[in-house]
Amino acid sequence: MTAPPSHRTLPRFSATFSPQTIAEIQRAAATGIYDIRGGGAKRVLPHFDDLLFLGASISRYPLEGYREKCSTDVTLGTRFAKKPIKLKIPVTIAGMSFGALSAPAKEALGRGASAVGTSTTTGDGGMTPEERGHSSILVYQYLPSRYGMNPDDLRKADAIEIVIGQGAKPGGGGMLLGQKISARVARMRTLPEGIDQRSACRHPDWTGPDDLEIKIEELRELTDWEKPIYVKVGASRPYYDTALAAKSGADVIVLDGMQGGTAATQEVFIENVGLPILAAIRPAVQALQDLGLHRKLQLIASGGIRTGADVAKALALGADAVAIGTAALIALGDNDPQLQAEYEKLGTVAGAYDDWQEGLDPAGITTQDPTLAARLDPAKAGRRLANYLSVLTLEAQTIARACGKSHLHNLEPEDLVALTIEAAAMAGVPLAGTNWIPGITK
Ligand SMILES: Cc1cc2nc3c(=O)[nH]c(=O)nc-3n(C[C@H](O)[C@H](O)[C@H](O)COP(=O)(O)O)c2cc1C
């Protein structure tokens, strides 16, 4: 049957009620259950892609790529800690819990990071011997849930990270579904096996910044003032949160934007709460500058870091280092196209797999199933991560040299322009081809 003349030949989809929106309404109507998934915000957001570097030419002098040095080291915890952490590269591995990740994945992260001289971080649910054993520098997370919190492990760590929030869910707690609460995970968290678990959204023993100050001091006493104390916040009010963390005595502030991954949270939360990291770094740096603390305590930025260009841009905006989660998992083997047939069995495709909460990851990374976890070879996956971290560093150095910088930390906002007015306003750099920084210059 031919369509009547008034009928369009191509179906026209609504931007508001897109096919994905319609499918989600239908799914919600059929199940009555909200969607949970892993990963970070998937919508298009202002990001580092909206910034470009101005390479050197007549007014600036570049460095020769293969002969002239461009250093990449960073020391974290120079403010108060007796034993600050020295990293060879400014890219660290973000906190990802054992429970969310398999034990071989945690081991692989440790192997890969240690091979290139950087740190890994524990996560909700405590420290595993695998990650301590294979991480030459390990940061121990102190979380609202206190799952797996153990003073002995605290002393075994090289730094402590107090988690106030995450970029994917600032103000929200964690989720670990029963499928992933294996006997080992349950034992470490002192929780029943196989039962859905929620992690608290706020620490049980404080109601505000004064309590944070007391907590930092307690942790310093416990660790003999040796270990740097980090404070991690999800980007939402970066100026005030950074200022309060700094005033409370943090050595390092970790600022995590909304593209940042999570193991599992409500989709509506991931996509609608928080700030992209592009919009958060400059206010955080401003807070530190206003307190005379920029570069005296260190700022780590995270949330959607993928390339050496992202690393260089975050540093140019004033961060001292970055942290990566999702990209590290991809480097280990997450969303590998070779597993396409298995992703299809889970109703998805390589490149879009995000149902990490189900514990069915064919790559053996976001699972507690012993058979699936055994698929990940930690030595091989660790080498892949080390390769990737090296590439990130080489790429960042390439850009820094082109801007005439002999250290990645010499990159500065002056090296950047923005492609959109929005990015110019958020990053506080001029719109490309103009001297205009919206909100700052006329
Ligand atoms: C699988 C997974 C598990 C995570 N678990 C934790 C956690 O236990 N504690 C925490 O503070 N953040 C956790 N995060 C967030 C990361 O620490 C980090 O903030 C985020 O991954 C950075 O953004 P990116 O993934 O875009 O690199 C997790 C992220 C992922 C992907």
Q: What is the whole-number distance in angstroms between the Cα of residue 164 and the centre of ligand 1?
A: 13
Of 166, 281, 311, 330, which is best to mutate to test ligand 1, by the most ligand atoms within 8 angstroms of its C-beta?
A: 166
Q: What is the whole-number distance in angstroms between the Cα of residue 435 and the centre of ligand 1?
A: 37
State the Cα–Cα distance between residues 404 and 64, nearest whole angstrom: 9
Q: What is the whole-number distance in angstroms between the Cα of residue 7 and the centre of ligand 1?
A: 49
pLDDT at residue number 39? 97
Task: Give 207-219 pLDDT, tens digit per residue.
Answer: 888 999 999 999 9
pLDDT at residue number 261? 97
Whether 442 is covered by a domain: the verdict is: no
Whether 22 is covered by a domain: the verdict is: no
Residue nearest (by alpha carbon) to ligand 1 atom 24: 260
Q: What is the whole-number distance in angstroms between the Cα of residue 262 and the centre of ligand 1?
A: 5
Whether 30 is covered by a domain: the verdict is: no
- Ligand 1 site, residue 99, Cβ cutoff 6 A: no
Whether 26 is covered by a domain: the verdict is: no
Place of tokens 């807070």: 287
Asked if 272 and 319 count as a contact pair (C-beta separation under 8 A), the reply is no
State the Cα–Cα distance between residues 91 and 41, nearest whole angstrom: 21
Residues of the chain with pLDDT under 50: none
CATH number for the domain spanning 85: value is 3.20.20.70
- Ligand 1 site, residue 305, Cβ cutoff 6 A: yes
pLDDT at residue number 140? 97
Whether 383 is covered by a domain: the verdict is: yes
pLDDT at residue number 9? 82
- Ligand 1 site, residue 262, Cβ cutoff 6 A: yes
Asked if 322 and 310 count as a contact pair (C-beta separation under 8 A), the reply is yes
pLDDT at residue number 2? 61
Asked if 94 and 327 count as a contact pair (C-beta separation under 8 A), the reply is no
Residue nearest (by alpha carbon) to ligand 1 atom 6: 96
Structural domain count, the chain: 1
Q: What is the whole-number distance in angstroms between the Cα of residue 97 and the centre of ligand 1?
A: 8
pLDDT at residue number 205? 87
Whether 12 is covered by a domain: the verdict is: no
- Ligand 1 site, residue 161, Cβ cutoff 6 A: no
Whether 387 is covered by a domain: the verdict is: yes
Tell me what the pLDDT averaged over the chain comes to: 95
- Domain holding 310, by residue range, is 42-333+376-427
Asked if 25 and 31 count as a contact pair (C-beta separation under 8 A), the reply is no
Closest CA to 96 of 87, 88, 105: 105
Whether 218 is covered by a domain: the verdict is: yes
- Ligand 1 site, residue 249, Cβ cutoff 6 A: no
- Ligand 1 site, residue 95, Cβ cutoff 6 A: yes
Closest CA to 243 of 218, 212, 277, 202: 212
Of 120, 262, 368, which is best to mutate to test ligand 1, by the most ligand atoms within 8 angstroms of its C-beta?
A: 262
pLDDT at residue number 4? 63
pLDDT at residue number 10? 87
